[in-house]
Structure 1
Amino acid sequence: MKPTPPARYDTTAQVPGRDLEPVQPESLPTAHPQVGPCPPRRRRVTLPGAARSSVAHARVHTVEALREWQIDDDTVEVLRLIVSELVTNAVVHTASRTIEITVSVTATEASVTVTDQGLCGTPVARKARPEEEHGRGLALVEALTTRWESTPLADGTRVEAAIALPEQTAGAL
């Protein structure tokens, strides 16, 4: 018997051999060049909370959105790493049924937001001992971002991490 996939998947995050239900990404339109600067751009996807494959899907979703918006390669790679760390934490440390990933770009920064249904407290960056295999993810996020914050919600936690866009990228938006 074939398992039924969750209700929402981003079609760009498909893994070969998997049947995933399509979801239309939520993106804001770009502005007309004669009207003025582009409004913020945003794309959201909801993935299964207990599936380790959600980490790979989140990376693909993030990279494809940022490349579509013509964000520079260095920024794309940093946000790919950040979303990987944040989604891994949500999968490993919470009992969430779903995890929502939002990728956003404004005129000055790019960000990823991961919202889970975990009620295990606010995540805190810590210093891992050299012999430990785990415990460096949030310290890495802290080191790579312009800002990051964790917000407790009534039914989970939202973690947002942002990096400033290089001048040439910000000026092109």
Structure 2
Amino acid sequence: MSSEPSLRLARTTLPALLSTPAAARSFLRRTLAAWGLDPHRDTAELVMSELVTNAVKATPHPAPPHADLRDAPLVTVELRATAHVLRICVEDTAPGHPTLRTAPTDAETGRGLFLVAALSTRWNTTPTPTGGKSTWAELALAGSEHAGPLPGSAVPRG
């Protein structure tokens, strides 16, 4: 895949707040429309929502009496696309790595990574130099179910 010349890249940084998944989905919709990838929007939005929600939940926040939007930790969302693969990457400042866990059947949460794993061709988490992590998922674009990974991809977790 590294021989593919048309790598597209878009990135935004958002505060790690409860409203961040909606803002990330909006960024994704605008970007995919500009890239002509609207047919992949629904799956990409679901994967993006799960990755961003996990990042926001995992990120430590300042104590409420001193909370200020300017002090909110940040989440970085990056989209990369070639003719065959769309990669959604979410970076946060929280230590640790998300893991697939079995949620009780009556639980309302806890299935996000199962969705990510089911909808993506591969996903993984890599540590960042600042002690946080970068969690990413790759989606095969139309007609490319057997496409190779984007540069920097690794074997999927779980």
TM-score normalised by the shorter chain: which range applies? 0.7 to 0.9
Runs of 4 or more, structure 1, over 6 Å off, are none
**Offset from partner CA, 1:104-138 (integer Å, 9 cap, x none):** 1112101110000001x111112211011111000
Give the alignment's TM-score, normalised by structure 1: 0.71
Which of the residues 51, 66, 70 maps onto 1:86? Answer: 51
Paired residues for 1:1-173 under 5 Å: 39-49=6-16, 51-73=17-39, 75-95=40-60, 97-119=73-95, 121-155=96-130, 156-167=132-143
Task: Tell me the secondary structure at the aligned position of residue 90 of structure 2.
Answer: strand
Q: Relative to structure 2, which stretch is displaced further, 128-137 or 91-100?
A: 91-100
Contact map agreement 2:29 2:38 (CA 8 A) in 1: no
Task: Tell me the secondary structure at the aligned position of residue 138 of structure 1.
Answer: helix
Q: Which runs of 5+ in 2 are unaligned?
A: 62-72, 148-158
RCO greater where, 1 or 2, for CA within 8 Å and sep 6 or more?
2
| C-alpha deviation, 1:72, in angstroms | 4.1
Contact map agreement 1:98 1:116 (CA 8 A) in 2: yes
The aligned residue for residue 70 of structure 2 is none
Contact map agreement 2:128 2:134 (CA 8 A) in 1: yes
| C-alpha deviation, 1:167, in angstroms | 2.5
Distance 1:152 1:122 in 2: 8
Q: Which runs of 5+ in 1 are unaligned?
A: 1-36
**Offset from partner CA, 1:28-59 (integer Å, 9 cap, x none):** xxxxxxxxx7520010000001x111110000
Task: State which structure, 1 or 2, has the greater radius of gyration over its C-alpha atoms.
Answer: 1
Task: Tell me the secondary structure at the aligned position of residue 167 of structure 1.
Answer: coil
Give the alignment's TM-score, normalised by structure 2: 0.77
Q: CA RMSD in A?
A: 1.8
Distance 1:38 1:93 in 2: 36
Of all paired residues, the percent bearing the same amino acid is: 38
